[in-house]
Amino acid sequence: MSAACALAETGLRVQLVERRSYLGGRASSYLHSGVGEVIDNCQHVLFGCCTNLIGFYRRIGVADRIHWTCEMTMIEPGGRRSQLGSSWLPAPFHGLPKLLSAHAFTLADKLALGRAFSTLMRPIPADSTESLGAWLKRHKQTEGALKRFWRLVIASALNADVDSIALPYAAKVIRELFMNSAGAGSMGMSTVPLSELYAGAQAFLEQRGSKVLFNTNVESAAWDEENAQWTLTTRSVTLASDLLVLALPFEGMQRMLPGLPAASGVGELTRQIEEHEHWPICSVHLWFDREITSLDHAVLLDREIHWMYNKSRLQPWRRGNYLELVVSASRPFAELSREQAIAQTVRELIEFFPTIAVAKLEKAALVKEMRATFGVPPGIDAARPTSVSPWPNCYLAGDWTATGWPSTMESAARSGHLAAEAICASIGEPRTILDANLKPRGLMRLVG
Ligand SMILES: Cc1cc2nc3c(=O)[nH]c(=O)nc-3n(C[C@H](O)[C@H](O)[C@H](O)COP(=O)(O)OP(=O)(O)OC[C@H]3O[C@@H](n4cnc5c(N)ncnc54)[C@H](O)[C@@H]3O)c2cc1C
Instruction: Say what the pLDDT of residue 143 is.
Output: 97
Instruction: Say what the pLDDT of residue 256 is.
Output: 97
Share of the chain above pLDDT 70, in %: 100
Other beta carbons within 10 angstroms of residue 440's beta carbon come to 19
What tens digit of pLDDT does each residue of 117-150 get? 999 988 788 889 999 999 999 999 999 999 999 9
Distance 241 CA to ligand 1 centre (A): 24
Ligand 1 interacting residues, C-beta cut-off 6 A: 17-20, 25-27, 41-42, 44-46, 217-218, 247-249, 252, 281, 369, 372-373, 398-399, 407-412
Q: Is 36 left (phi over 0), alpha (psi -120 to 50) or beta?
A: left
Facing residues of 247 across strands? 397
- Residue 139: closest CA among 127, 150, 123, 155: 150
Task: Assess contact for 422 and 174: CB atoms under 8 A.
Answer: no
Instruction: Say what the pLDDT of residue 286 is.
Output: 98
Whether residue 78 is predicted with pLDDT greater than 90 in this model: the reply is yes
What tens digit of pLDDT does each residue of 232-266 get? 999 989 999 999 999 999 999 999 999 999 999 99
Tell me how far apart the alpha carbons of residues 207 and 36 are, in angstroms, rounded to a whole number. Answer: 32
State which H helix or E strand residue 324 sits in.
Answer: strand 321-328
* Residue with CA at minimum distance from ligand 1 atom 29: 25
State which H helix or E strand residue 30 sits in.
Answer: strand 29-32
Distance 215 CA to ligand 1 centre (A): 16
Span 308-325, average pLDDT: 97
Mutate to test the pocket of ligand 1, among 44, 156, 172, 173 (most ligand atoms within 8 A of CB): 44
Whether residue 17 is predicted with pLDDT greater than 70 in this model: the reply is yes
Distance 41 CA to ligand 1 centre (A): 10
* Residue with CA at minimum distance from ligand 1 atom 15: 408
How does DSSP assign 204-238, residue by residue?
HHHHTT-EEE-S--EEEEEEETTTTEEEEEESS-E
**What is the average pLDDT value for the chain, to the nearest integer?**
96
Sheet with strand 187-190: strands edge to edge:
45-47, 187-190, 66-69
Instruction: Say what the pLDDT of residue 125 is.
Output: 87
Distance 43 CA to ligand 1 centre (A): 13
Task: Assess contact for 297 and 381: CB atoms under 8 A.
Answer: no
Mutate to test the pocket of ligand 1, among 20, 22, 248, 331 (most ligand atoms within 8 A of CB): 248
Span 284-293, average pLDDT: 98
State the Cα torsion 329-335-338-339 to the nearest 10°: -110
Whether residue 448 is predicted with pLDDT greater than 70 in this model: the reply is no
Tell me how far apart the alpha carbons of residues 350 and 261 are, in angstroms, rounded to a whole number. Answer: 56
Taking CA atoms, 241 is separated from 14, 218, 229, 349, in Å, by: 9, 13, 6, 52
State which H helix or E strand residue 340 sits in.
Answer: helix 338-352
What tens digit of pLDDT does each residue of 156-174 get? 889 999 999 999 999 999 9
- Residue 279: closest CA among 382, 367, 158: 158
Mutate to test the pocket of ligand 1, among 46, 368, 409 (most ligand atoms within 8 A of CB): 409
Distance 151 CA to ligand 1 centre (A): 24
Instruction: Say what the pLDDT of residue 113 is.
Output: 96
Whether residue 155 is predicted with pLDDT greater than 90 in this model: the reply is no
Atom of ligand 1 nearest to the CA of 400: 26
What tens digit of pLDDT does each residue of 381-439 get? 999 999 999 999 999 999 999 999 999 999 999 999 999 999 999 999 999 999 999 99
Task: Assess contact for 444 and 91: CB atoms under 8 A.
Answer: yes
* Residue with CA at minimum distance from ligand 1 atom 48: 25
- Residue 284: closest CA among 227, 323, 311: 323
* Residue with CA at minimum distance from ligand 1 atom 49: 25
Tell me how far apart the alpha carbons of residues 279 and 160 are, in angstroms, rounded to a whole number. Answer: 7
Burial 52-79 (b: 16+ CB within 10 A, else e): bbbbbbebbebeeebeeebebbbbbeee
Distance 24 CA to ligand 1 centre (A): 7
Atom of ligand 1 nearest to the CA of 415: 26
Task: Assess contact for 28 and 40: CB atoms under 8 A.
Answer: yes
**What pTM does this model have?**
0.97
Whether residue 231 is predicted with pLDDT greater than 90 in this model: the reply is yes
Atom of ligand 1 nearest to the CA of 398: 26
